[in-house]
A and B are shown apart, each in its own frame.
Chain A
Amino acid sequence: MPLLTVNEVGVRFGGVTALDRLSFTIEEAQICALIGPNGAGKTTLFNCLSRLYEVDEGTIMFNGVDLLQLSPHRVARIGVARTFQNLALFPALTVLENVMVGAHTQGHIGFGRAMLRLGAGREERQLRAKCSDILERLELAHVAARPAAGLPFGTLKRIEFARALASSPRLLLLDEPANGLTHGEVDELGVAIRDIRERFDLTVLLVEHHMAMVMSISDHVVVLDFGRKIAEGPPAMVRDDPAVIEAYLGAPA
């Protein structure tokens, strides 16, 4: 059974069809890339998966659960984590605290027990250890105690990545993680994603414009244009698909 099944999903904004009866599946442990020109609907799909947007039609099943029945904060709980195309960190918190917020689903101490310090100290130590470890792996340990505000862009991108990992997800949604990174950093990121997939036993849905990276790390590629799926398959096959080339280079005259 696939881990994620997107079935006939449609989303419209007024006259704009952002997703047009989109269907695809992701198998467990795959890295699946979702590509397409700007405005193709990639982020819209992410927002449907994290229940920020309501779909107009279709269903989304994750690991046997009807995702569209969940309220947004439940999505993380069943094992779906994401990063944002534009950064969405908590500027007032330190880097470590940002990642610890990412581990929210891993703890359970609420207002009452926190105020009375019943078990809160122990939970703090556990979360802190887990998150410090993730920072270590992403080579962010040296900024752990600094406020997130004011760090370089590439670092912030990696912090978002770390925050998403902190929830121990089964499916990780990465929205243009290489955006704004230098060439060297992009290569490193590609290696890191593969590496993390192995270590954390993850399935990854990746939105990315960086073709070299997409082609080198993904197992499966889905191509969108104007909300419709125009091609799907292994990277090598998709790369040579005439419809894909046309979408990227513009329609021949």
Chain B
Amino acid sequence: MVVPTAPVATTKLPEPGGQRVPWARLAAGVAVLGVAVYLPFYFTPEVNTTLSQVLYLAVAAVGLNLLTGYNGQVSIGHGAFFGIGAFTSAVLVVNHGWQFEYTIPVAALLAAGLGVMVGFPALRVRGLYLALITLGLAVVFPRVTAKVVKGTGGVALVRPSRADLTSLLSGLADDQYQYLLCLLLLCIVLLLTWNLMRSRAGRAIIATRDHEVAAEAVGINVAAVKVGTFALSAAFAGVAGSMSVLVDHLADATNPITYFQLSIEFLIAVVIGGSATIIGPVVGAALLVLLRKQTAGLITGKEILAPAVLGGALILIVYVLPDGAVGGFRRLVARLGRGRRRPSSTPDPPPDAPASLTNRTT
């Protein structure tokens, strides 16, 4: 069976084994982190809230990227896992008086559980069919939730009060605390993902995407890898949903397309940032929120046009950067590097006989 594969941007795994320490990258990472920690003390509470939204969107996109980018299982239903996380946290805080921070692992676990439940049937379908099934999940989620969850007024909307979500750290304003907690969670999720992808398990995730038969033949339990990736990916989306309650003070299933829309946004963040890269989804989430803000302000009075402008901008980005912002950046660096390279560097073997690697017939 020949599955039409998208032109896979060469998945550059982080150097396995960490032979060379990438000092330049490390320094850049520390600098970025330093700035990120400083930001909430510089901006207004409104801006901080927007930045926190970028952070939770990024966590969800990192999760989706694990599944769709690295493992090749397309999901346009991750809004549902996000929603599970959001409602778990909101209900625990509002109805059961939990401290918000403790609800995060519960949200992750429940989302992972739903991920397993979807992951098993997902073993039997792929590509567009899987996309359709997950789409159904995102569409069904708010309706089921509306039946199960009754907030004030009997609708599926849970609104934790400000007092429920106050800062645990004295000396920090609520918006600053929220931002920093979101930043911490994003860093944890990124670290876990990075560790995973530079291990035996990470290679198994990619191998399963690239050639299932060959993966099975080298001893990879393809079904377990796929279901496991689904669960982990869903757990990250659940954490993102939980974070959204902290930031937006809201878990809302009254509008049936909210979670579908979110699913699409996660996918957009993955694609424009750079799928199958560690940091791409974060860049994509930032770009997406930036674009959303810009296009919304662009045409005051004609807000109805905003989605069209946003859509146009996204098409343009994907056209100019087919492998996302991170892919584009890498190509730029490679080009600059080639310009500088001394002639004594190892010559490239001739690129003769471009053999097809994706021939599935055995």
> Which residues does A use to contact B, with CB under 8 Å?
43, 46-47, 50, 52, 72-77, 81-82, 84-94, 96-97, 100-102, 104-105, 107, 109-111, 114-117, 120-121, 123-125, 127-128, 142-143, 147-156, 163, 167, 175
Most buried by A among B13, B218, B228: B218
B207 touching A93, Cβ below 8 Å: yes
Chain B, interface size: which category? 35 or more
Chain A to chain B: the 10 pairs with minimum beta-carbon distance, closest first: A76-B219, A114-B199, A92-B11, A88-B214, A124-B17, A90-B210, A105-B219, A86-B359, A153-B355, A91-B357
Most buried by B among A43, A73, A85, A152: A73
In the complex with contacts A73-B216, A163-B218, A121-B356 CB distance below 8 A = no
> Is the contact region of chain B dominated by helix, strand, or loop, or is it mixed?
loop
B361 touching A86, Cβ below 8 Å: yes
Name the residue of chain A whose CB is nearest to the CB of B361.
A86
Which residues in B have their C-beta under 8 angstroms from that of A123?
A: 199-200
Output the least CB separation between B322 and chain A (Å).
Answer: 15
Cβ of B272 under 8 Å from chain A: no
Name the residue of chain A whose CB is nearest to the CB of B18.
A121
* Assembled-state Cα–Cα distance A47/B360 (Å): 13
| 1/0 contact string of B199-220 vs chain A (CB within 8 Å) | 1111110110111011111111
> Is the contact region of chain A dominated by helix, strand, or loop, or is it mixed?
helix
B10 touching A120, Cβ below 8 Å: no
B353 touching A153, Cβ below 8 Å: yes
B357 touching A87, Cβ below 8 Å: yes
In the complex with contacts A90-B210, A101-B203, A114-B195 CB distance below 8 A = yes
Which residues in A have their C-beta under 8 angstroms from that of B218?
A: 76, 81, 101-102, 104-105, 163, 167
Contact of A89 among B8, B9, B211, B361 (CB under 8 A): B211
In the complex with contacts A114-B201, A150-B351, A88-B362 CB distance below 8 A = yes
B219 touching A73, Cβ below 8 Å: yes
Which residues in B have their C-beta under 8 angstroms from that of A121?
A: 17-18
Output the least CB separation between B288 and chain A (Å).
Answer: 25
Cβ of B312 under 8 Å from chain A: no
* Assembled-state Cα–Cα distance A88/B359 (Å): 7
A115 touching B10, Cβ below 8 Å: no
Output the least CB separation between B9 and chain A (Å).
Answer: 8
In the complex with contacts A114-B195, A116-B195, A147-B10, A89-B219 CB distance below 8 A = no
* Assembled-state Cα–Cα distance A52/B357 (Å): 20
B203 touching A100, Cβ below 8 Å: yes
A75 touching B217, Cβ below 8 Å: yes
Which residues in A have their C-beta under 8 angstroms from that of B357?
A: 87, 89, 91, 148-149, 156
Which residues in A have their C-beta under 8 angstroms from that of B361?
A: 86
A156 touching B355, Cβ below 8 Å: yes
Cβ of B16 under 8 Å from chain A: yes
Cβ of B36 under 8 Å from chain A: no
A52 touching B8, Cβ below 8 Å: no
* Assembled-state Cα–Cα distance A127/B201 (Å): 13
| 1/0 contact string of B230-242 vs chain A (CB within 8 Å) | 0010000000000
A76 touching B210, Cβ below 8 Å: no
* Assembled-state Cα–Cα distance A115/B206 (Å): 16
8 A Cβ contacts from B12-31 to A: 13, 16-19
Contact of A120 among B195, B222, B350 (CB under 8 A): B195
* Assembled-state Cα–Cα distance A246/B250 (Å): 80
| 1/0 contact string of B338-362 vs chain A (CB within 8 Å) | 0000000010011111111111111
In the complex with contacts A104-B200, A152-B349, A97-B219 CB distance below 8 A = no
Cβ of B192 under 8 Å from chain A: yes
Which residues in B have their C-beta under 8 angstroms from that of A125?
A: 17
In the complex with contacts A127-B200, A128-B16, A149-B357, A104-B10 CB distance below 8 A = no
List 21 A-B residue pairs with CB atoms under 8 Å apart, sorted by A's residue number: A43-B362, A52-B216, A73-B221, A76-B217, A81-B218, A84-B217, A86-B362, A89-B357, A90-B207, A92-B209, A100-B16, A101-B203, A101-B220, A109-B201, A115-B195, A116-B195, A120-B195, A120-B200, A148-B357, A152-B350, A156-B357
B17 touching A128, Cβ below 8 Å: yes
* Assembled-state Cα–Cα distance A93/B357 (Å): 12
Which residues in A have their C-beta under 8 angstroms from that of B9?
A: 92
Output the least CB separation between B206 and chain A (Å).
Answer: 6
Beyond the given A76-B218, A81-B217, A163-B218, please list 11 additional residue pairs across the A-B interface where CB-CB is below 8 A: A52-B362, A82-B217, A91-B8, A96-B16, A97-B203, A101-B215, A114-B195, A128-B16, A143-B349, A147-B10, A149-B10
